[in-house]
Structure 1
Amino acid sequence: MIQSKTMPNPLKAELSSVKAYFLYATLFSAALNFLMLTPILYMLLVYDRVVSSGSMETLIMLTLLLVLLLFSSGGFEWARGKLLIAANVRVEKSLRHKVSSVASLNALLTGNDTMGNQAMNDLISLRQFSVGNGVISLMDAPWALVYICVMFLFHPYFGSAAIIAAVIMIILAVITQKSTGDRMAKANGLSRTAQVSFSNNLRNTEVIHGMGMSKNIQYRDDLLYDKAANEQAIASVAASQLQSISKSFRMLAQSLLLGLGAYLALNQEISPGMMIAGSLLLGRALAPVDMMVANWKSFIDAKGQYERLTEILKITPFDLERVTLPDPEGSLSVEQLFVVPPGSTSACLKGVSFELAAGEALGIVGPSAAGKTSLARSILGVWPARAGLVRLDGADMNKWDRDELGPHLGYLPQDIELFSGTIADNICRFSRLDSEKIIEAAKIAGIHEMILSLPEGYDTLIGLTSGALSAGQRQRVGLARAIYNSPRLIILDEPNSNLDDQGERDLVSALRRMKESGSTIIIITHRTSILSIVDKLLLLKEGMVANFGQRDLVLKDISPQPSKVTKLPTNA
Structure 2
Amino acid sequence: MGVGATSLKRPAERLLARAAYGLAMTALLSGAVNALVLVSPLYMLQVYDRVLRSYSIETLAYLSMMAAACVAALGLFDWLRGVGLARFGRWWDETARPDVLAAALASARRDGPAPGSSLQDLQQVRAFVGSPSMLPFFDAPWTPLFLVLIFLLHPLLGLIAVCSALVLACFAIGNDVATRLSLAGCGARQAENATFAATALRNADVVHAMGMQPSVIALHGKRQEAINRMQQKAGERSAMLLGASKAIRLGVQTAILGAGAYLVIENQLTPGGMIAASIILGRALAPVEQAIGAWRSFVAAREAHGRVKALLRRIPPETEPTALPAPAGRLSVENVSFYLQGQERPVLRQVGLQVAPGMAVAVVGPSAAGKSALCRLLVGSWLPSGGQVRLDGAALGQWRSADRARFVGYLPQAVELFGGTVRDNIARLGDAVDAEVVAAARLAGCHEMILRLPKGYDTEIGDGGTFLSGGQRQRIALARALFGDPRLVVLDEPNSNLDQEGEAALVAAISAAKEKGAALVVVSHSFAMMRVVDAIMVLRDGAVEKFGPREQILRELQPLPLRAQTAPGEFRREAAE
CA distance in 2, matches of 1:368, 1:219: 31
Q: Which residue of 1 aligns with 2:5?
A: none
- Look up the SS of the partner of 2:214 in the other structure: helix
1:327 to partner: Cα distance: 0.5
1:496 to partner: Cα distance: 1.2
Q: Which residue of 2 aligns with 1:79?
A: 80
TM-score, length of structure 2 as denominator length: 0.89
Q: Which residue of 1 aligns with 2:352?
A: 353
Q: Which residue of 2 aligns with 1:537?
A: 536
- 8 Å CA contact 1:101–1:317 kept in 2: the answer is no
Report the AA paired with residue 325 of structure 1. Answer: L
Q: Which residue of 2 aligns with 1:279?
A: 278
1:70 maps to 2:51: no
State the identity as a percent: 36
Q: Which residue of 2 aligns with 1:340?
A: 339
1:211 maps to 2:207: no
- 8 Å CA contact 2:82–2:132 kept in 1: the answer is no
Cα deviation digits, residues 397-428 of structure 1 (max 9, x gap): 33322332221011111110112232222111
- 8 Å CA contact 1:320–1:399 kept in 2: the answer is no
1:326 to partner: Cα distance: 0.5
1:228 to partner: Cα distance: 1.9
CA distance in 2, matches of 1:154, 1:388: 76
Structure 1 residues 455, 54: CA separation in 2 closer, same or farther (over 3 Å shift)?
A: farther
Report the AA paired with residue 435 of structure 1. Answer: D
Return 545-554 or 137-146, whichever deviates more. 545-554
TM-score, length of structure 1 as denominator length: 0.90
CA distance in 2, matches of 1:217, 1:83: 44
CA distance in 2, matches of 1:336, 1:166: 67
Cα deviation digits, residues 444-491 of structure 1 (max 9, x gap): 323333333434433333344321111001001101100111211111
Q: Which residue of 1 aligns with 2:490?
A: 491
CA distance in 1, matches of 2:195, 2:297: 22
- 8 Å CA contact 2:143–2:284 kept in 1: the answer is yes
Structure 2: where are the runs of 5+ without partners? 1-7, 566-570
Structure 1: where are the runs of 5+ without partners? 1-6
Cα deviation digits, residues 99-143 of structure 1 (max 9, x gap): 223211322333333xx2222222221122223344321221122
CA distance in 2, matches of 1:469, 1:189: 35
Where does 1:298-313 land on structure 2 (aligned, <5 Å)? 298-313=297-312
Structure 1 residues 342, 380: CA separation in 2 closer, same or farther (over 3 Å shift)?
A: farther
- 8 Å CA contact 2:10–2:317 kept in 1: the answer is no
CA distance in 1, matches of 2:424, 2:78: 44
1:149 to partner: Cα distance: 1.9
Q: Which residue of 2 aligns with 1:223?
A: 222
1:170 maps to 2:157: no
- 8 Å CA contact 1:108–1:342 kept in 2: the answer is no
- Look up the SS of the partner of 2:326 in the other structure: coil
- 8 Å CA contact 2:423–2:437 kept in 1: the answer is yes
Return 427-436 or 389-398, whichever deviates more. 389-398
1:289 maps to 2:306: no
- Look up the SS of the partner of 2:417 in the other structure: coil
1:430 to partner: Cα distance: 1.3
CA distance in 2, matches of 1:480, 1:331: 22
Structure 1 residues 560, 447: CA separation in 2 closer, same or farther (over 3 Å shift)?
A: same
CA distance in 1, matches of 2:68, 2:398: 67
Report the AA paired with residue 125 of structure 1. Answer: Q
- 8 Å CA contact 2:179–2:299 kept in 1: the answer is no
Structure 1 residues 188, 321: CA separation in 2 closer, same or farther (over 3 Å shift)?
A: closer
Q: Which residue of 1 aligns with 2:28?
A: 27
CA distance in 2, matches of 1:157, 1:329: 86
Where does 1:429-444 land on structure 2 (aligned, <5 Å)? 429-444=428-443
Structure 1 residues 383, 174: CA separation in 2 closer, same or farther (over 3 Å shift)?
A: closer
1:138 maps to 2:137: yes
RMSD over aligned Cα atoms: 2.8
Structure 1 residues 50, 456: CA separation in 2 closer, same or farther (over 3 Å shift)?
A: farther
Structure 1 residues 178, 469: CA separation in 2 closer, same or farther (over 3 Å shift)?
A: same
1:285 to partner: Cα distance: 0.9
Q: Which residue of 2 aligns with 1:252?
A: 251
CA distance in 1, matches of 2:137, 2:367: 60
CA distance in 2, matches of 1:12, 1:348: 35
Return 208-217 or 470-479, whichever deviates more. 208-217
Structure 1 residues 438, 39: CA separation in 2 closer, same or farther (over 3 Å shift)?
A: same
CA distance in 1, matches of 2:39, 2:440: 71
CA distance in 1, matches of 2:390, 2:180: 53
Cα deviation digits, residues 144-186 of structure 1 (max 9, x gap): 2222222222222222221122122112222323333301225
1:243 to partner: Cα distance: 0.7
1:93 to partner: Cα distance: 3.7
Q: Which residue of 2 aligns with 1:472?
A: 471
1:341 to partner: Cα distance: 4.3
- Look up the SS of the partner of 2:71 in the other structure: helix
Q: Which residue of 1 aligns with 2:513?
A: 514
Q: Which residue of 2 aligns with 1:3?
A: none
- 8 Å CA contact 1:409–1:488 kept in 2: the answer is yes
1:44 maps to 2:72: no
Report the AA paired with residue 240 of structure 2. Answer: Q
Q: Which residue of 2 aligns with 1:239?
A: 238
